[in-house]
Structure 1
Amino acid sequence: MTTTLLQRALDTRARTWSQMQEIQARAEGEGRDLSAEERASWDAAEADLTAASQDIERLERHARMDTVQREQIVVAGGDQAAETAEDRQATHDAAYRDAFAAFTRRGMSGLDNEQRQLLMSNQSEIRAGATSPGTAGGYFIPTDTLARITETMKAYGGLLGAANVITTTSGNPLNWPSNDDTANVGAILAENAQITEQDVTLGQKTLGAFTYTSKLVRLSLQLIQDDAFGVEAWLARKLGERIGRAVAAHLATGVGTTQPEGLFTNATAGKTGLAGQVTSVIYDDLVDLQHSIDPAYRASAQWAMSDSALKVVRKLKDSQGRPLWEPSVQAGVPSSLMGSAVLIDNGIPVPAASAKSIGYGDINAAYVVRQVAGGQMMRLEERYADFLQVGFFGFMRLDAKPDDGSAFRVYAHPAS
């Protein structure tokens, strides 16, 4: 059903875009501006195009999360004697998911001994203001549920899906080496001559682990006990959305001290707009921005901007009068701009005076994100007992920094 709806939305977007092109071509062919009626038709079509694009994004996100859930299905049966290590791990994971679901609904008192042991073996101690073990702990979210949270985070922040994401088991400071050897070249060696030396200079960055929390969610006991409602999946989605929104903003423009350093925060401007372009960009600016990146990076480069910036860019045409933006008509294939994919992330600044609103480059090479394995959830059972409610919150540890600064450049609007 999702595939059918997705294809229908793609067809609608392609058809609407074709209609907009016909309106524009008719006016240009007659050497005139759009009439009032044509302008009204164009505005209505543009609204339909935006709605179709939003539908496509939502359906593709649903398809990704559905795939994550289906990949976790464990088929019972078969020759027990031929059970492999993978089979045993799958069985263990399934049992842990069941224990975690029971914990979500009933708390520790509602678990049998085996389920309690499973959870206790995957517990991380938490104590505010201290690093030594305490009595209160958070239980690791099962892999498939965590994957659903990660998918939700990607949907709310496209940069996370494009960056180089590394996962570590602990949150200790991680030293990340860097190197720029592009200024050094080889040489011709004369006969009987001694070879010259040229050392490689390595830099170093440190990735920490900021703790992101979903804040507290209180659920009634009636809702938790209602087996007809998939509270585990719903709760994971809500926690993921909250964490994802916070992460998205910081990956774009985080200050780098009390939060990750954003990709756009200190990025080099590949092009600065002319005076007066405080909320606009022209075709020549985008060409200059593309060529501010070395060709070595352009094969994997993509555009990154907010939806507000995309609205501005979609109205631009090249020197032949052809629109720069090409909407995708195939599921899973992003829309393109001047031959490169367009990544939308609303954490990126919108067009404004002195803002860096458009980026271009190889984001995977330019930006590294460090996640500490195991997003966790805590259940507060007694705190709200007099309300017949249970409190939940999720948290995840993450840091990020620009990596290869040569791989990414931004378009900066002038101050006035």
Structure 2
Amino acid sequence: MPNLKSLMDQRATAWNQAQEFQSRGDDNPLSAEDRSAWDAALADVERLSTEIETEERHARLSAVDYSQVVPPEKTPEPGEDRQASQETAYRDAFSAFTRRGMSGLDNEQRQLLMSNQTEIRAGATSPGSAGGYFIPTDTLAKITETMKAYGGLLGAANVITTASGNPLNWPTNDDTSNVGAILAENAQITEQDVTLGQKTLGAYMYTSKLVRLSLQLIQDDAFGVESWLARKLGERIGRAVAAHLATGTGSSQPEGLFTNATAGKTGAAGQVTSVLYDDLVDLQHSIDPAYRGSAQWAMSDSALKVVRKLKDGDGRPLWEPSTQVGVPSSLLGSAVLIDNGIPVPAASAKSIGYGDINAAYVVRQVSGGQLMRLDERYADYLQVGFFGFMRLDAKPDDASAFKVYAHPAT
């Protein structure tokens, strides 16, 4: 990533220049020329930060981390070579199905796909059927990575993958208010029961909606329609998931992390779109130290713009830009996660969160996405319809691990 490295170096230089002018101003008032240069350096930091964020997002979308989905390479055990060969054959058959449909498959490919098929009869065509096939692992990884890019919360949450979509129950317990005691000699031990609860995750169906491609585009396929289409479908599903992971109601959709989160700090009257340095400190310390070792900030880009303008008592910006590729910029010593599904600063909005998101939020995904191809429905347009779908649910787990900054109503 030479371009990203160059941008990081430029931002580090601009930041150092700004800090130098800041240190001068600590002793004597800056001259008009120096203040102009200081403002220019800060403007460069702002501009370069935006470019870096764009480059990092592009890198996430174009360079999929397959290790998150595909097991790392190891010495094949007996039978593994055969399994790898079957996976390659399935991927090739799926690619052929995407480009040419069932008629473009040989008998072996057709049997391979049908062994994993969920067939859905298309009532709009007679005769006719639409086969839904599991998306190969590497293509599914592209969709998953795209969803993470659009919804930063997904990458930080505790993600559980299950083979089926049956209700998933798990016990809960909060024993933090109970403490032990000194026992006097010959005294009976006091009883203190633990209180157990239960939470349940379902599996809501997310769809990319329908995409129609012309036969000419599919047949020519000069750029790899399978990967391109997977990315587009993943972006659509990702946008829908991102909004729900942040502020979903929990009724007929996942419950968002911010929806019912406890306010660790509420702004004073008049702070309907603003936040103070002291507010952020209070929010950090509203989280128990046991969680702060893995804690991070979560906010939208609009909220980050507000926060980046804050300065401490010596006039130094709270936001610390990263000067190293792969190391996130920090705020009061903690990383900042950006997710535009999180509410922007506004009256009564919960716009900034802080805590251990992995402990606070759990996401359940049903393994495997599926892609549907509709050959006959749009045949008179010489088009083929495609849509993808995935099943997912999410809800808060440990409420003590994450709290939010709430703006006042007025």
TM-score by length of 1: 0.89
Distance 2:180 2:246 in 1: 37
In the alignment, structure 1 segments of 5+ residues that lack a partner are: 129-134
1:89 maps to amino acid: Q
Q: Secondary structure at the match of 2:149?
A: helix
Question: Quick check: 1:21 aligned with 2:19?
Answer: yes
Q: Show the 5 A alignment for 1:382-393.
A: 382-393=376-387
Distance 1:33 1:315 in 2: 22
Q: CA deviation at 1:14?
A: 1.9
Q: Tell me which residue corresponds to 1:302.
A: 296
Q: 1:336 to 1:34 in 2, by over 3 A?
A: farther
Distance 1:218 1:195 in 2: 71
Question: Quick check: 1:341 aligned with 2:341?
Answer: no
Q: Which moved more, 1:290-299 or 1:16-25?
A: 16-25
Q: Tell me which residue corresponds to 2:171.
A: 177
Q: State whether residues 4 and 56 of structure 2, in contact with CA within 8 Å, keep that contact through their aligned partners in structure 1.
A: no
1:90-141 per-residue CA deviation (whole Å, 9 max, x = no partner) reads 111111110100000011111112111221122235589xxxxxx7542110
1:325-381 per-residue CA deviation (whole Å, 9 max, x = no partner) reads 111122221111111110000000111111110000000010011111111110011
Q: Tell me which residue corresponds to 1:55.
A: 54
Q: CA deviation at 1:213?
A: 0.8
Within the candidate set 316, 325, 340, 2:310 is matched to 316
Question: Quick check: 1:98 aligned with 2:96?
Answer: no
Q: State whether residues 6 and 60 of structure 1, in contact with CA within 8 Å, keep that contact through their aligned partners in structure 2.
A: no
Q: CA deviation at 1:12?
A: 2.5
Question: Quick check: 1:252 aligned with 2:246?
Answer: yes
Within the candidate set 115, 119, 122, 1:121 is matched to 115
Q: Tell me which residue corresponds to 1:147.
A: 141
Q: Tell me which residue corresponds to 1:351.
A: 345
Within the candidate set 406, 410, 413, 2:407 is matched to 413
Q: Tell me which residue corresponds to 1:131.
A: none
Distance 2:138 2:45 in 1: 38
Q: CA deviation at 1:39?
A: 7.7
Q: 1:111 to 1:291 in 2, by over 3 A?
A: same
Distance 2:68 2:379 in 1: 33
Q: Secondary structure at the match of 1:154?
A: helix
Distance 1:161 1:194 in 2: 49
Q: Secondary structure at the match of 1:315?
A: coil
Distance 2:300 2:378 in 1: 40
Distance 2:297 2:115 in 1: 44
The count of residues paired between Structure 1 and Structure 2 equals: 405
Q: State whether residues 328 and 334 of structure 1, in contact with CA within 8 Å, keep that contact through their aligned partners in structure 2.
A: yes
1:327 maps to amino acid: P
Question: Quick check: 1:41 aligned with 2:40?
Answer: yes
1:272 maps to amino acid: T
Q: State whether residues 66 and 141 of structure 2, in contact with CA within 8 Å, keep that contact through their aligned partners in structure 1.
A: no
Distance 1:312 1:69 in 2: 34
Q: CA deviation at 1:226?
A: 1.8
Q: Tell me which residue corresponds to 1:9.
A: 7
Distance 1:276 1:69 in 2: 45
1:171-193 per-residue CA deviation (whole Å, 9 max, x = no partner) reads 12211321101112223344555
Distance 2:379 2:131 in 1: 19
Q: CA deviation at 1:215?
A: 0.9
Within the candidate set 206, 216, 219, 1:212 is matched to 206
Q: CA deviation at 1:169?
A: 1.1
2:216 maps to amino acid: Q
Q: CA deviation at 1:23?
A: 4.7
Q: 1:190 to 1:33 in 2, by over 3 A?
A: farther
Q: State whether residues 11 and 44 of structure 2, in contact with CA within 8 Å, keep that contact through their aligned partners in structure 1.
A: no
Q: State whether residues 13 and 53 of structure 1, in contact with CA within 8 Å, keep that contact through their aligned partners in structure 2.
A: no
Q: Secondary structure at the match of 2:386?
A: strand
Q: CA deviation at 1:87?
A: 2.2
Distance 2:65 2:190 in 1: 58
Distance 2:280 2:177 in 1: 26
Q: CA deviation at 1:412?
A: 0.6
Q: Secondary structure at the match of 1:65?
A: coil
Distance 1:120 1:288 in 2: 58
Q: Secondary structure at the match of 1:378?
A: strand
1:21 maps to amino acid: Q
Q: Tell me which residue corresponds to 1:132.
A: none
Question: Quick check: 1:377 aligned with 2:371?
Answer: yes
Q: State whether residues 17 and 49 of structure 1, in contact with CA within 8 Å, keep that contact through their aligned partners in structure 2.
A: no
Q: State whether residues 12 and 52 of structure 1, in contact with CA within 8 Å, keep that contact through their aligned partners in structure 2.
A: no
Q: Tell me which residue corresponds to 1:202.
A: 196
Distance 1:186 1:247 in 2: 43
Q: 1:18 to 1:313 in 2, by over 3 A?
A: same
In the alignment, structure 2 segments of 5+ residues that lack a partner are: 123-128
Distance 1:71 1:125 in 2: 26
Q: State whether residues 309 and 358 of structure 1, in contact with CA within 8 Å, keep that contact through their aligned partners in structure 2.
A: yes
Q: State whether residues 11 and 45 of structure 2, in contact with CA within 8 Å, keep that contact through their aligned partners in structure 1.
A: no
Q: Tell me which residue corresponds to 1:237.
A: 231
1:308-329 per-residue CA deviation (whole Å, 9 max, x = no partner) reads 1111111112223322111112
Q: State whether residues 297 and 337 of structure 2, in contact with CA within 8 Å, keep that contact through their aligned partners in structure 1.
A: yes
